[in-house]
Every structure is written in C-alpha cells, then in structure tokens.
Amino acid sequence: MITLLTLSENAATLLSESRSQQGIPDDAVLRVAPAAGDDAGISLGFVERPLSGDHTATAYGLPLCVDPEVSEALDAAQIDVQTTDGSPSLVIVPAP
C-alpha cells in the first residue's frame, strides 16, 4: 500500500501564497507529476482538477493530487520548505 505524499504546514502555506500571488483560483489543485524531458524529476503545478487515476488528498487546506507514475517513488515522502540565503525552496524529505 502506498502512503500518499504529504505537505508540511510551511510548504502548504508557501504554495497557497504563491497560488494567490499568481492569481490562480483558490480551488485549484496542486498536481505532482513526472517532469517533462529526459531528466528524472517531478513537476509541481496547479490544475483545475485531478486527472483520472491521480491519488488525491488535502494538506493544511491545500488540495493536492499525485500522478500514479510518481506516487510509488514518493511513497511516505513530504514536500517541505528549506531556506537558503533567505530564499525558500521546496524540497522532498522523508515524512515524519
């Protein structure tokens, strides 16, 4: 059984603020999916609704969905905020 990727409270706050600053509707869903291209990364973006097959959850009021292609690789992980030189960045860490 897969444990869905989660967000820390700080990550949810940062992403919610970013969504508002970009004028993205409050009901938009954060989608975690494979990155386009040859690198083996993930992408984060806001969508109107989850795609068919996505795993869904809500973290600190922020709806999120995870593409099934990356859900196993992100099993029991958490998106958190790391601050370096005063600039916040999103990072993936093991869930507490």
**What is the extent of the structural domain holding 78?**
6-94
Q: Give residues with Cβ within 8 angstroms of 56, minimum separation 6.
A: 29, 50, 63, 64, 65, 66
| Residue 17 is assigned to a structural domain of this protein | yes
Nearest to 43 by CA among 51, 33, 52, 53: 33
| Residue 32 is assigned to a structural domain of this protein | yes
| Residue 66 is assigned to a structural domain of this protein | yes
| Residue 75 is assigned to a structural domain of this protein | yes
Question: What is the count of structural domains for the chain?
Answer: 1
What pLDDT, on the 0 to 100 scale, is given for residue 61?
Answer: 93
CATH number at residue 45: 2.60.300.12
- Give the sign of the dihedral formed by CA 93, CA 42, CA 64, CA 23: positive
- CB-CB neighbours of 29 under 10 Å: 18
Per-residue pLDDT of the chain (96 residues; tens, 9 = 90+): 456 889 999 999 999 999 999 999 999 999 999 988 766 689 999 999 999 999 999 999 999 999 999 988 888 899 999 999 999 999 999 988
Residue 74: both structure tokens together: 């992100």
For residue 54, give Cα distances in angstroms to 29, 36, 82, 85. 11, 17, 27, 35
